[in-house]
Amino acid sequence: MVHTRQAGPPAAGSSASGAVTFDEVLAELAERRVEFREQRYVSRDFVARLKQLGLYRASTPAKFGGEPLPPAEFLDRIERISVVDGSTGWVASFGSSLVYFAALPLETQAELYADGPDVVFAGGLFPVQPAPPTERGFLVNGRWKFASGCMGADILGVGIPGDDSTGGKPRTALLRPEQVEIVQDWDVVGMRATGSFDLVVRGVDVPREWTFIRGGQPTVDEPLYRYPTIAYAAQVLAVVGAGVARAALDYAEEVGAGYAGVTGAPKLADRAYYRTEIATAEAALRSARAWFYELSHSVWETVVAGDAVTDEQNAQLRLASAHLAKTSSDVVGRLVEISGTAPINQNHPLQLLLGDALVPKQHAFLGPAMYDAAGAVLMGQPPTTPGFR
């Protein structure tokens, strides 16, 4: 199935009207998460509900009407959503990605936020596609993958090559949804409702001032844009895994207290190995989560004080994020192992959570290479992974 939109220049979105509480939105999500999973994306009307919660102005500069949140506060909100549905937490997490826009010219940012500070951005940045220079900017053609949340986006981005002026780092070219074709070919076992579809662009001339480098030098002087951009991008994905693992633990503890197997064996809570694994999982998740948030608070204090974030602080943020993603996935995997035959059913809650928990750990920002890169920096060596900071 292909969803097609027509051409035009970039434009932003504004929030839906009406007050709504966080708990009300979570209750609605609990009712609709199956709908989202079946259609493979979070519906635009629910994205509007997330706008009402302020998630899509949480990284908009205050000078453009935004209400920037300290990273730890934003992360906590994403984690709460992810306990109910990991896919929706993943989509909501990209409310943080407006930090990238701080590297755009101020005039471009003013146009982006002209209709309000609540802007939903989705990007399919890889594989980077050739974009020959034009008089205005770059001629963009190609197909890009993994554009999570694109069905509800106000602005879309695609990856094009960098040059000497970008230090070799790729650019992201911004387009309005009408300039992009969305190909709905997402068929996965984890984070199924993220709508991480392909983006296709055919011959759009994107002005240079509508391109940016992820983590590029900000043109806005506010604290949030001095927080490490790529580390923050890794954090918002890792915390989704933590929410999923919390949901799995809550389920396993509730079911274990009352479930008896078909063989007549003791209920799960009466088995020593089950109790031990539940306790071990609680300790592992809570410990990884505590370190993760401790570092976020500490680095934010550095930023607010006007000091530069050190390479070591950035490395610890990256390491804590990768560790939280791995720990979360491991926790869910162990819960499946100790839960007997029930989770082999395709729609068993733990089976669905297992797929969701796997996705953050597999992301390039959070994979095994992050341990090597962080270890190198902590020992005074250059990072071993490109784009580590």
Domain spans of the chain, in order of start: 2-213, 227-378
The length of the chain, given as a count of residues:
389
Q: How confident is the model at residue 357, as a pLDDT?
A: 98
Which superfamily does 227-378 belong to?
Butyryl-CoA Dehydrogenase, subunit A, domain 3 (1.20.140.10)
Per-position DSSP letters for 89-133, written without gaps between them: HHHHHGGGGGGGGGGS-HHHHHHHTTT-S---EEEE-BS-----B
CATH number of 2-213: 2.40.110.10
Question: pTM to 2 decimals?
Answer: 0.93
Instruction: Give the pLDDT of residue 264.
Output: 60
Q: What is the rounded CA–CA span in Å between residue 362 and residue 1?
A: 27
Q: Which tens digits make up the pLDDT trace of 154-207?
A: 999 999 999 888 877 899 999 999 999 999 999 999 999 999 999 999 999 999
The partner residues of 47 in beta bridges, in order of sequence, read none
pLDDT for residue 131 is more than 70 = yes
Average pLDDT score over the chain: 93
- As a whole-number percent, the residues of the chain with pLDDT over 70 amount to 94
Range 212-234 average pLDDT: 95
pLDDT at residue number 19:
76
Q: Is the pLDDT of residue 218 over 90?
A: yes
Look at residue 386 in the predicted model and tell me its pLDDT: 86
Q: Which single residue is written with the structure tokens 């003013």?
A: 110
